[in-house]
Amino acid sequence: MDMRTIGFQAENLAKEWLEARGYHLVKANYRYQHAEVDLIMTHNKVMVFFEIKFRTNLSYGYPEAFVYKSKQRLIIRAADYFVHRVGWKYGIRFDIIAIEQAQGSPPLITHFQDAFY
């Protein structure tokens, strides 16, 4: 399975997991200039911009550790543009969904709220 397929499956798993917890999808794979936001969802009048990270093992570190400052800046810039474009007047937040799944095991999903700004 190629990385793009794995990424799509991880994002879909995160979306379903979040929807089961009351989040509502606004947009998936939103692109602005050089940035891509994996999921944009709303929850209790907050628009949440998600970065989804998936790992099959932790030999190189935890998934959430791979959301570098440069990536955070790109996501913030894309979010700023999106919020202004749609006229959103409520709060926003930047979260990370980290998914770990060893072969043959169920996925372990960790939600980091307010992960950066």
Please write the tens of the pLDDT for every residue from 2-29. 777 878 899 999 999 999 999 999 999 9
Tell me which H or E stretch contains 36. Answer: strand 35-43
Give the predicted TM-score (pTM) of the model.
0.94
**pLDDT at site 67:** 95
For 58-74, the pLDDT digits (tens) are: 888 899 999 999 999 99
**pLDDT at site 1:** 63
Domains parsed from the chain with CATH numbers: 3-112 (3.40.1350.10)
Q: Rounded CA gap, 40 and 30, in Å? A: 8
The neighbour count for residue 58, using CB atoms within 10 Å, is 11
Computed over every residue of the chain, the mean pLDDT equals 94
Tell me which H or E stretch contains 53. Answer: strand 46-55
